[in-house]
Amino acid sequence: MYNFEFSNPKTIENATKALSSEDAQALGGGQTLLPTMKQRLASAEVLVSLSGISEMVGVSQSDGTVSIGGATTHAEVARQSREAYPALAQLAGKIGDPAVRNRGTIGGSLANNDPAACYPAGALASGATIQTNKREIQADEFFRGMFETALDEGEIITSVTFPVPEVANYQKFEQPASRFALVGVFVAKTSGGVRVAVTGASNNGVYRWREAEAALSTDFSASAIDGMSGDPSDMIEDLHGSPAYRAHLVGVLTRRAVSSCS
Amino acid sequence: MPTVTMNINGRQMSANVENRTLLVAALREDLNLTGTHVGCDTSQCGACLVHVNGKAVKSCTMLAVEADGADVETIEGQANADGSLNVIQQAFQDHHGLQCGFCTPGMVMSAAALLKENPKPTEAEIRNHLEGNICRCTGYQGIVNAIMAASGQSVAMAAE
């Protein structure tokens, strides 16, 4: 990888300053960015590490919500949100492998918005609020397409707040080599209705499956969406699966998630 | 060039590295700790697995400057004080947990991380934990047997 200046701020304020210089790039756990830089698909003049910012690490609960610092690793989310939000802990505990989970962070994953990442589905289905160093962004406004988010230059995710649903479940059909989701579906049932978020399937990244949400909000059972499948017209085609296969998996995994909620 | 100081296997060690130097390169090339291997260099295979502040990480996917001031454990620190193999290493030898041995440093460090958190893992838990460690020789059964044995459990159980 090309060399860079390295900045290791201890506060969000100093990170914001470091990121204001031209061609600065935030570094979370580095589990995506470092391999990308090695391949010279990405480079930066200044790399600003967020892992030393203690105010961005940790999991806290209050009043039906779980808040997670942006620099909290997947392993810590899996450990610390197990009781407060089991479906989210289960999602975090199945990302990558144990060593990757000890480095990769929730903020890094959401900011990258990989079309097959797990966290975007969890955040979108839960209706999470993404707190940055500049503002709050609702999950519905945050994800803008494959590897695209509402984040501006120099904007970093400082924490993510999840309203804890009545029940929730995440089903991931794992691509066994990468351990990314070939398709993943997160179902969350709240007092305001059911939300279903799909990752791994669409060329536009994570999305809400509105037809299933409408059917499940009336009748929260797998049979309510019997025979339904995703719309394959804009789904990912690669050597692991065709659009039709992914569309089929969307239906299967949603039914499994609903069944696992009861 | 920045100086990185780490406590490696209980000893303070320093190296002058570039910002882009990976932790595994600093360990192998600057500090001559060549027990940690580079297999895939893409964080898939786990041959480079070391512990940083007690957590298993892939040292090919972490910058050396990120480990400044950290406690690092590598395969070189695993043997007993008298130089004999520790319980995990001995179990790998006894149960055919290696053939060519290339993945072994990562396997042993991964096993050590597992047993620290979960002293009596089931076979399923061992296999799940080893998802990020690839071995192309053994078919994994010998490795799973070795970790069962190292945790004081019956190996016949793992073979069932």
Q: In this predicted model, what pLDDT tens digit does every residue of B83-98 receive, in sequence order?
A: 999 999 999 999 999 9
Q: What six digits make up the tokens of B156?
A: 């016949």
Among B52, B76, B100, identify where a domain stops.
B76
Q: Is any Cβ of chain A less than 8 angstroms from the Cβ of B125?
A: no
**Domain check: are B107 and B46 in the same one?**
no
**Domain check: are B72 and B114 in the same one?**
no
Helical ranges in chain A per DSSP H: 12-19, 33-38, 74-80, 86-92, 98-101, 106-112, 119-126, 139-142, 210-218, 243-261
Query: Which chain B positions have a beta carbon within 8 Å of A5's beta carbon?
Result: 19
What is the per-residue pLDDT across A37-83, written as a single tens digit (0 to 9) for each?
999 999 999 999 999 999 999 999 998 999 999 999 999 999 999 99
Task: For residue B156, tell me if it sits in a domain.
Answer: no
Query: Which chain A positions have a beta carbon within 8 Å of B22's beta carbon?
Result: 34
Query: Which chain B positions have a beta carbon within 8 Å of A90's beta carbon?
Result: none
Task: For residue B157, tell me if it sits in a domain.
Answer: no
Residue B55 to residue A75, Cβ atoms within 8 A = yes
**Domain check: are B72 and B102 in the same one?**
no
**Domain check: are B57 and B109 in the same one?**
no
- The pLDDT of residue A179 is 86
Residue A248 burial (CB < 10 Å; 0-12/13-18/19+)? Answer: middle
**Domain check: are B19 and B65 in the same one?**
yes
Residue B77 has pLDDT above 60, yes or no: yes
Choose from B41, B62, B129 for mutation: most chain A CBs within 10 A: B62
What is the per-residue pLDDT across B106-150, written as a single tens digit (0 to 9) for each?
999 999 999 999 999 999 999 999 999 999 999 999 999 999 999
Query: Which chain A positions have a beta carbon within 8 Å of B147's beta carbon?
Result: none
Residue B18 to residue A47, Cβ atoms within 8 A = no
Total of domains in chain B: 2
Residue B90 to residue A206: CA distance in whole angstroms: 47
Between residues 145 and 184 of chain A, which touch chain B (CB distance below 8 Å)? 177, 179
Residue B63 to residue A52: CA distance in whole angstroms: 13
Mean pLDDT score, A217-231: 96
Sequence-ordered list of residues with C-beta below 8 angstroms from that of A42, at least 6 positions apart, any chain: A25, A33, A36
Choose from A6, A7, A10 for mutation: most chain B CBs within 10 A: A6
Q: Which domain CATH number covers B26?
A: 3.10.20.30
Task: For residue B110, tell me if it sits in a domain.
Answer: yes
Task: For residue B145, tell me if it sits in a domain.
Answer: yes
**Domain check: are B44 and B66 in the same one?**
yes
Q: How confident is the model at residue A178 (pLDDT cuts 50, 70, 90)?
A: confident
**Domain check: are B17 and B46 in the same one?**
yes
- The pLDDT of residue B15 is 97
Residue A103 to residue B58, Cβ atoms within 8 A = yes
Cα-to-chain-centroid distance, residue B125: 17
Share of chain A above pLDDT 90, in %: 96
Task: For residue B123, tell me if it sits in a domain.
Answer: yes
**Domain check: are B70 and B91 in the same one?**
no
- The pLDDT of residue A216 is 97
Among B28, B43, B76, identify where a domain stops.
B76
In three-state secondary structure terms, B129 is: helix
**Domain check: are B95 and B138 in the same one?**
yes
**Domain check: are B71 and B91 in the same one?**
no
What is the per-residue pLDDT across A194-208, written as a single tens digit (0 to 9) for each?
999 999 999 999 999
Task: For residue B14, tell me if it sits in a domain.
Answer: yes
Q: How confident is the model at residue A108 (pLDDT cuts 50, 70, 90)?
A: very high
Q: Which residues pair with B55 in a beta bridge?
A: B52
Residue B158 has pLDDT above 80, yes or no: no
What is the per-residue pLDDT across B22-52, written as a single tens digit (0 to 9) for each?
999 999 999 999 999 999 999 999 999 999 9
Task: For residue B9, tell me if it sits in a domain.
Answer: yes
Of A172-181, B46-55, B69-78, which range is least confident? A172-181
Residue B145 to residue B151: CA distance in whole angstroms: 10
Q: Which domain CATH number covers B132?
A: 1.10.150.120
Number of Cβ within 10 Å of residue A141's Cβ equals 11
Q: Nearest-CA residue of chain B relative to A33?
A: B61
Residue A132 to residue A141: CA distance in whole angstroms: 13
Determine the structural domain holding residue B117 and report its residue range.
87-150
Q: What six digits make up the tokens of B52?
A: 């940083």
Among B44, B76, B108, identify where a domain stops.
B76
- The pLDDT of residue B157 is 58
Residue B31 burial (CB < 10 Å; 0-12/13-18/19+)? Answer: buried
Task: For residue B82, tell me if it sits in a domain.
Answer: no
Q: Is any Cβ of chain B less than 8 angstroms from the Cβ of A75?
A: yes
Query: Which chain B positions have a beta carbon within 8 Å of A51's beta carbon?
Result: 66
Residue A96 has pLDDT above 90, yes or no: yes
Instruction: Tell me the ipTM for this assembly.
Output: 0.95
**Domain check: are B44 and B105 in the same one?**
no
| Domain annotation for chain A: domains and CATH numbers | 5-49 (3.30.43.10), 56-163 (3.30.465.10), 167-261 (3.30.390.50)
Cβ(A156)–Cβ(A26) below 8 Å: yes
Report the number of secondary-structure helices (H) and strands (E) in chain B: 6, 5
The model scores a pTM over 0.90: yes
